Structure 1
Amino acid sequence: MRITADTDKCIGAGQCLFTEPDLFDQSEADGRVVVLNAEPVGELLAQKAREAVYLCPSRALSLAE
């Protein structure tokens, strides 16, 4: 699995960070998503990545299996 973030779409809502701070952060410059771990290992992190993609209000996150 690979996480991709489209920072042009990101509105800085922070739902990804709240879902899994081991995978996501926000830029201090503009609040947009920063992917900390683009290829999470383990089912728990994979599930959290899927949840973050689902919760993203701007649809800036996507997964490639």
Structure 2
Amino acid sequence: MSTATEETTSTTTPEPVLRVRDVAEHLDCGTDSVYQLIAAGNLRAIRVGRVIRVPESALAEFIAGGTGRR
């Protein structure tokens, strides 16, 4: 008797991302400061065309004291 192996398909949901202005509000600073953090590599961000988004995990890393670089 042969046994069939079950294939489990893991469905991953995309990580939530924040707008620069939302990050600025959370950090209580201006959007220019957030753009500077991104440009300096201190806050990880995703660019799609002209749109910049910050993953929630990147904001959490930044707040926790990580550099945000990968």
TM-score, structure 1 normalization = 0.28
Larger RCO (alpha carbons 8 Å, 6+ apart): 1
**Higher Rg of the two aligned structures:** 2
> More helix per residue: 1 or 2?
2
> More strand per residue: 1 or 2?
1
